[in-house]
Homo-oligomer: A and B are copies of this chain.
C-alpha cells in the first residue's frame, strides 16, 4: 500500500513537471515565432508518451471508482478525462502547418495539475493559509506567462531584440496591466491587441479584486489562534477604556491574558468542535493535560484508563500572586492539583502560615470529602496554575476507580493523624 502511494506520488511529480515544461516552453516559442523543429518533435513524442500513460492511469482509476460515486458527478469527471486524452495526442505527427498551434491544446493538461495540487494541499498538513497563498501565486505566474506570450504573438512588443528580452517586455506589459499600474509605455496599436488588452484588464481587475480581498484575510489567518486572541483582547481593552478603568488596572488585565497566552491556557475556540466524537476529544484533552498533570506524583503512575476518565473533569485555572484559591470557612466544593507555582496555606485569624506547597502538590480534598468548611485559606505566592476537580467528579471517580478512592482516603487519614 505504502509502496503504491510512493509510486503514485513520484508519478504525479513527473506529470506535473512535464506539464510545467510544456506549459512554459510551448507558448514561449509560439509567441516569439521560433520554429518547433527536429529536437522539439522528439520531445513532443516524449510528452505524448508521459501524458498517454497518465491518461491510461486516470481512466483505470475512474473505472475503479465508478461504482461508489453518484451519477451527477460523472459528467464533470468525464470532461477531465477527455481533457487528459486531448493533451496526450501526438501533435508533432500532424501536418507541419497546423501542428504547432494545435499543440497548445496540450495546455488543458493543467486541469490535471490543478487536481493533483488540490490533492497535495488536502494531504499535506502545512498551514492552509500559506498553502493557499502559494497556490495562488503559482497560478498567477502561469497565467502571466501565457498572457505575455500571447501579447508577443500578437505583435504587442515593439523592439524585436533577443527572445529573452522580448519575453521580459511581454511579462512587463502583463504585470503593468494586471496590477492596474498601467504606465502606458507599451500600449496596443491594432484592434486585436486592444481587445486582448481589454480582456487582460478585466481579468486583471477581477483577480486583483480577489487578491485585495484575500491578502489581508489570508495574512491574518496565518495564525488564526493569535489573531483571534488579539481581537478579543482589543475588545476587552476597549471596554475598560470606555469605562475609564485606570491604566494600571488595564495593564494588569493585559498581563494576565498575556500570561494565559504564553502558558497556552488561553481558553479559545474548542467549543466550535462541538460535533467532535468523544474518543478524539478525550485524546486531545489527554495531550493538553498530560505534561501538567504528570507533575502530580499520584497521576504519574496512574493507569491510562484512569487518566482518560479524570482528564475531562479537570478544569485548568490560573491565579495571580496574592489571589486566594479558597478562604478558610468557605464551603468547599472542589479540590486542586498544583501544576505550576507555589501556594501557601494560612490560618485567617492568626495569619499563621501552616505550609508552603510547591508544584505537584494537591490540596482542598478535606473539605470535599468530609463536607466540612475549609479548615484553612490557600493563597497563591506567585503565578499559579492549578487543576480544579469538583466534588461531584471526585465522588464519581472514587466510585469507578477504587484505587483512587483508597489513595485519597489514606491521604485524608494521614492528615487527621497530624
A residues neighboring B (CB under 8 Å): 122, 125, 128-129, 164-165, 168-169, 171-172, 175-177, 179-185, 187-188, 191, 194-195, 197-198, 201-202, 204-206, 208-217, 219, 221, 223-226, 228, 232, 234-247, 249-254, 256, 258, 260, 264, 266-270, 272-280, 283-284, 287-288, 317-320, 322-324
A275 touches B267 (CB 8 A): yes
Interface centre among A164, A244, A260, A264 (most CB of B within 10 A): A244
Using known A-B contacts A176-B201, A187-B183, A243-B264, determine if residue A224 contacts B234 with beta carbons closer than 8 Å.
yes
- 16 cross-chain CB contacts under 8 A: A176-B201, A179-B204, A181-B204, A182-B182, A209-B211, A213-B215, A239-B268, A239-B273, A242-B264, A243-B264, A246-B287, A256-B276, A267-B274, A277-B319, A277-B323, A279-B324
A238 pairs with B213, CB closer than 8 A: no
A242 touches which of B122, B181, B214, B268 (Cβ 8 Å): B268
Q: Which of B183, B191, B268 contacts A182 (CB 8 A)?
A: B183
Q: Which residues of B lie under 8 Å from residue A181 when comparing CB positions?
A: 177, 180-182, 201, 204
- Tell me if B185 and A172 are in contact (CB < 8 A): no
Contact B284 A249 (CB under 8 A): yes
Interface residue from B201, B215, B228, B242 paired with A210 (Cβ < 8 Å): B215
Contact B264 A280 (CB under 8 A): no
Complex CA distance for A277 and B217, rounded to whole angstroms: 32
Q: Knowing A187-B183, A206-B215, say if A280 contacts B268 (CB, 8 Å).
A: no
Are A239 and B287 in contact, with the CB atoms below 8 A?
no
A249 touches B125 (CB 8 A): no
Is the beta-carbon distance between A269 and B235 smaller than 8 angstroms?
yes
Contact A202 B179 (CB under 8 A): yes
Contact A272 B320 (CB under 8 A): no
Is the beta-carbon distance between A208 and B205 smaller than 8 angstroms?
Answer: yes
Contact across chains for A280 and B252 when beta carbons are under 8 A apart: yes
Cα distance A122–B233 in the bound complex, in angstroms: 12
A266 — which chain B residues lie within 8 A by C-beta? 242, 275
Complex interface: chain B residues within 8 A of A195 (CB): 168, 172
Candidates B251, B274, B280; contact of A256 at CB < 8 Å:
B280
Cβ B209 vs Cβ A225 within 8 A = no
Complex: chain B residue closest to A182, CB-CB:
B181
Contact in complex: B236, A273 (CB < 8 Å)? yes
Chain B residues, Cβ within 8 Å of A165 = 191
Nearest-CB distance from A387 to chain B (Å)? 15
In the complex, what residues of B have CB within 8 A of residue A175's CB? Answer: 198, 201-202
Contact of A236 among B194, B209, B246, B269 (CB under 8 A): B269
Chain B: minimal CB distance from A184 (Å): 4
Tell me the smallest distance from the CB of A263 to a CB of chain B, in Å.
Answer: 11
- 10 shortest interchain CB distances as A-B pairs: A213-B216, A183-B184, A224-B238, A181-B182, A209-B215, A225-B238, A184-B184, A225-B242, A209-B212, A179-B205
Complex Cα spacing A310 to B187, Å: 70
Shortest C-beta distance, A100 to chain B (Å), equals: 27
How far, in Å, is A191 (CB) from chain B's closest CB?
A: 5
Q: A216-B213, A235-B272 are in contact. Are A264 and B244 (CB under 8 A)?
A: yes
